[in-house]
A and B are shown apart, each in its own frame.
Chain A
Amino acid sequence: MRPNGPGRRTLLGGTAAAAGLALAGCGGSGDDGGDKPAGRKKGEKISLTFWSWVPGIEKPVALWNRENPEVQVKLEKVSAVNGAQYSKMHAAIKAGNPPDLGQIEYTTIPSFVLDDGLAALDEYGAAEHKSKFVGWEWDQSVFGDSVFAVPQDSGPMGLFLRRDLFDRWGIDTPATWDDYEAAAEAVRAEGGWIETFSATNGNRFAGLAWQAGARWFAAEGDTWVVAVDDEPTRRVADYWENLVRRRLVKTIADRQNAWYKDVQSGDIVSWTGASWGDALLAGNAPDTAGKWRVAPLPQWKKGENAHANWGGSTTAVFKACKYPEDALAFAVWLNSDPGSVKLLIEGGYGFPSAKSGYSAADLEVRKDFFGGQKYSEVFREAGRAVDTSWKWGPAVDTLYQHLGDAFTEALGGGGSFREVLRKVQRQTLADLKEKGLKAEAG
């Protein structure tokens, strides 16, 4: 999705005019025309609205508001359950009254870009801030000629496990997925469960495929190439189908009440999660403090060091924003200013996208919960090994929905996991074509 070469240039100016026409056609707002907003006059006091759901984000916003009396940011918390925040943002774009800024995950940036909802930030000088952030995370929001969002955090994946129970049962930390299967058997023999395979958790499945070397999306020329049903993803699907069919893992949804209960009680003893999971576990299973450790993701081959990312989000500026320069300034400050990053870390966001402004020790916020382990090191190492060529495509939310539906059906006895992949591949291609995009199977 990066510009493929000097010969190909996206015609942002021309297409913005087309967007203006389209909006006039459906009676939309006048803000979205082809003209660049005039921006703020010197000394003018403005207020920007910001939709986010990140815990503790009130604090950096309050800090900004204290330091910038002329540009006040009004934070509105939105629900992040089942993607409700994105429904709200898409609806607001359609209705012509989106907020100025929004919290958007990497996975969902393309669908907002396709919706023509985000401001192309290079027009406002975003490029000069690129060096403040981890390169590949910045690149996740680059489409055509511009970046569309400022990265906030990432979620290197790792394995959270109950050290005390693994030790008591004499089970080693699994280094490979083969070890993991053996560990699953051993945990089951003790009456526990190593994990749950959640049919509706498309994010994690994507992460596991990512680790195995899959590339679900690529942009070649003017065509989206979709490869959900590729060899690495099949390997992941086969692997988990085996665990599910042998009843070595539960099949409840993770991060729901029943799962929290199992984690609290020790019925489920590990979780294939991501760096932001520390706050989640510590907050929801406080009684298990000190018993957890973090290990790197098991590898497909012994000695490999393949890792993946789950989650992480950005601060994006909506196209309808009247003061994009100020909104961009806030977005950059929020995600790179040392004071702000410190507050975000305390609140429990993911792994900072900012390259500097914090120390390694700052990240060990919940060291006590992990028995004193410097657990962030594990995630840092994983983050460095993440295959950064992975790209998200349009309509990932719909892809997750198809994936969830198909896995739901497969768990209910309707077909194999391989059929799930074939089906989702077919549906995703159809979706993209339905959206008027050129798409082909990879």
Chain B
Amino acid sequence: MSGPFRRPTRAELRNARAASGFLLPFLALFVLCFLAPIGYAVYQSLLRTERAGPLGIGGVTEAFAGLENYRQALQDSGFLAGFGRVLLFGVVQIPLMILLATALALLLDAASARWVGFFRTAFFLPYGVPGVIASILWGFLYVPGISPFVEMAGSVGWDVDFLSDGTVLWSIANIVTWQYTGYNMLVLIAQLKSVPSELYEAARIDGAGAWQIALRVKLPLIRPALVLTTVFSLIGTLQLFAEPMVLRPLSNAIDSGFTPNLHAYNEAFTGNNQHAAAAEAVLLALVACVLSFGFLRLVGRRGGEDR
């Protein structure tokens, strides 16, 4: 190790130059596409619009508002209700989806699986459909009068409404599950593939059956992937937007603040109040941060106790 006052050698300088050369493109894009927009959003969230002249038609000026926008967002019951809704959604949908993805991944990874390539692609395919298109497709399958499901249920005397107050959240959960289960499955499969096959052989020699290998060997080994997919799903859930946005005209149960993101969007583009929307977006990002890192800490601690 060199002392603190030694001059760097030429080779070290060259290395440092090379390193910064490699880092620069990343840093530039990171600042441009990540830090700058966040900084701008925070800046916007601290402003408010002031209007001059009688009736306010004499032009607009922007003034510093402090945390006023945040105060208003936190007092807006519609905005807070949206958080309640996505959290409920997450508590139910994320475990369900991860469970399903894990089951599918284990099935496809099992020694006795057939046509693995075909099924893997088939399960993954919905992920290739953009969220808006998926919502439109499912919308047609939900709307009474067009939906074959509603008609079939009606013909056996069962009056279902996928878009009512009590059901629409779970209809959206269905779309999300349909779309992302395959993606999560693929992440899990990738992790399963990296497990050396010697481990399975050893387990088999020790007398473990297929069930035991899956539960005792495979599951603990793909734990990091499970944590990763859960965190991604958590963030995705908080940012729920396209599905309620597309289904809104079809349903009497989706209001303009159904999810926090939808609320912020409408604040910005219907209410033309970008400053309030920026504050809401920053709050949403904070909640996502707290929940994600909270979850990571939680599973991290549990993981430590196991060992």
Given A111-B272, A256-B249, A408-B253, A12-B58 contact (CB < 8 Å): yes
When the two chains form the complex, which single residue of A16, A91, A199, A251 contacts B269, counting CB atoms closer than 8 Å? Answer: A91
Q: For the complex, what is the distance from the CA of A413 to the CA of B164, rounded to whole Å?
A: 11
When the two chains form the complex, which single residue of B49, B140, B145 contacts A262, counting CB atoms closer than 8 Å? Answer: B145
Given A25-B62, A115-B60, A116-B60, A1-B55 contact (CB < 8 Å): yes
Residues from chain B with a CB closer than 8 A to the CB of A68 are none
The stretch that binds B, out of A48-56, A152-160, A353-361, A428-436, is A428-436
Residues from chain A with a CB closer than 8 A to the CB of B254 are 408
B53 contacts partner chain A, Cβ-Cβ < 8 Å: yes
- B237-270 CB mask vs A (1 if < 8 Å, else 0) is 0000000000011101111110000000010011
Residues from chain B with a CB closer than 8 A to the CB of A401 are 256, 266, 270-271
B52 contacts partner chain A, Cβ-Cβ < 8 Å: yes
Identify the closest chain B residue to A25 (Cβ): B62
Q: Are B249 and A200 in contact (CB under 8 A)?
A: yes
- Among residues 1 to 42 in chain A, which have CB atoms less than 8 Å away from a CB atom of chain B? 1, 8, 10-12, 14-16, 18-19, 21-22, 25-26
Residues from chain A with a CB closer than 8 A to the CB of B274 are 94
The stretch that binds B, out of A124-132, A219-227, A328-336, A342-350, is A219-227
B50 contacts partner chain A, Cβ-Cβ < 8 Å: yes
- Among residues 33 to 88 in chain A, which have CB atoms less than 8 Å away from a CB atom of chain B? 81-83, 86-87
Q: Are B58 and A15 in contact (CB under 8 A)?
A: yes
Q: For the complex, what is the distance from the CA of A199 to the CA of B50, rounded to whole Å?
A: 32
Residues from chain B with a CB closer than 8 A to the CB of A224 are 55-56
Q: Are B54 and A144 in contact (CB under 8 A)?
A: yes
Q: For the complex, what is the distance from the CA of A223 to the CA of B51, rounded to whole Å?
A: 13
Q: For the complex, what is the distance from the CA of A262 to the CA of B159, rounded to whole Å?
A: 18
Given A21-B61, A405-B257, A408-B254, A221-B49 contact (CB < 8 Å): no
Q: How far is the CB of A363 from chain B (nearest CB, A)?
A: 30
- B161-197 CB mask vs A (1 if < 8 Å, else 0) is 0001100000000000000000000000000000000
When the two chains form the complex, which single residue of B49, B57, B145, B250 contacts A144, counting CB atoms closer than 8 Å? Answer: B57
Q: For the complex, what is the distance from the CA of A181 to the CA of B48, rounded to whole Å?
A: 48
- A230-268 CB mask vs B (1 if < 8 Å, else 0) is 000000000000000000000111001110011001010
- Among residues 383 to 422 in chain A, which have CB atoms less than 8 Å away from a CB atom of chain B? 394-395, 397-398, 401, 404-405, 408-409, 411-413
Q: How far is the CB of B81 from chain A (nearest CB, A)?
A: 10
A280 contacts partner chain B, Cβ-Cβ < 8 Å: no
Given A10-B58, A22-B59, A26-B62, A251-B72 contact (CB < 8 Å): no
Residues from chain B with a CB closer than 8 A to the CB of A262 are 145
Q: Are B54 and A10 in contact (CB under 8 A)?
A: yes
How many A-B pairs have beta carbons closer than 8 Å: the answer is 138
- Tell me the dominant secondary structure on chain A's binding face: helix
Q: For the complex, what is the distance from the CA of A159 to the CA of B165, rounded to whole Å?
A: 30
Q: How far is the CB of B151 from chain A (nearest CB, A)?
A: 11
When the two chains form the complex, which single residue of A15, A222, A252 contacts B59, counting CB atoms closer than 8 Å? Answer: A15
A114 contacts partner chain B, Cβ-Cβ < 8 Å: yes
Q: Are B59 and A19 in contact (CB under 8 A)?
A: yes
A166 contacts partner chain B, Cβ-Cβ < 8 Å: no
Query: How many interface residues does B have (CB within 8 Å)?
Result: 41
Q: How far is the CB of B190 from chain A (nearest CB, A)?
A: 39
Q: Are A253 and B249 in contact (CB under 8 A)?
A: yes
Q: Are B51 and A408 in contact (CB under 8 A)?
A: no
Identify the closest chain A residue to B69 (Cβ): A434
A113 contacts partner chain B, Cβ-Cβ < 8 Å: yes
B292 contacts partner chain A, Cβ-Cβ < 8 Å: no
Q: Are A257 and B61 in contact (CB under 8 A)?
A: no
Residues from chain A with a CB closer than 8 A to the CB of B217 are none
Q: For the complex, what is the distance from the CA of A114 to the CA of B143, rounded to whole Å?
A: 39
Q: How far is the CB of A266 from chain B (nearest CB, A)?
A: 12
B78 contacts partner chain A, Cβ-Cβ < 8 Å: yes
Q: Are B56 and A436 in contact (CB under 8 A)?
A: yes
Q: For the complex, what is the distance from the CA of A394 to the CA of B49, rounded to whole Å?
A: 14
A90 contacts partner chain B, Cβ-Cβ < 8 Å: yes
Identify the closest chain B residue to A8 (Cβ): B54
When the two chains form the complex, which single residue of A10, A26, A258 contacts B57, counting CB atoms closer than 8 Å? Answer: A10
Residues from chain A with a CB closer than 8 A to the CB of B55 are 1, 143-144, 219, 222-224, 437-438
**Nearest 7 Cβ contacts at the A-B interface:** A15-B58, A87-B269, A19-B59, A222-B54, A405-B255, A412-B165, A22-B61
On B, residues with C-beta under 8 Å from A are 48-62, 72, 78, 140, 143-146, 164-165, 248-250, 252-257, 266, 269-274, 276
On A, residues with C-beta under 8 Å from B are 1, 8, 10-12, 14-16, 18-19, 21-22, 25-26, 81-83, 86-87, 90-91, 94, 111, 113-116, 143-144, 199-200, 219, 221-224, 251-253, 256-258, 261-262, 265, 267, 394-395, 397-398, 401, 404-405, 408-409, 411-413, 431, 434-438
Query: Mind listing 16 A-B residue pairs with CB under 8 Å?
Result: A8-B54, A10-B54, A12-B58, A15-B59, A19-B59, A25-B62, A90-B269, A113-B57, A114-B51, A200-B249, A222-B54, A224-B56, A398-B270, A412-B164, A435-B49, A436-B48
Since A116-B60, A398-B270 are in contact, a sample of 8 more A-B pairs with Cβ atoms closer than 8 Å, ordered by chain A residue number, is: A21-B61, A83-B270, A144-B57, A257-B140, A408-B252, A408-B255, A435-B273, A436-B56
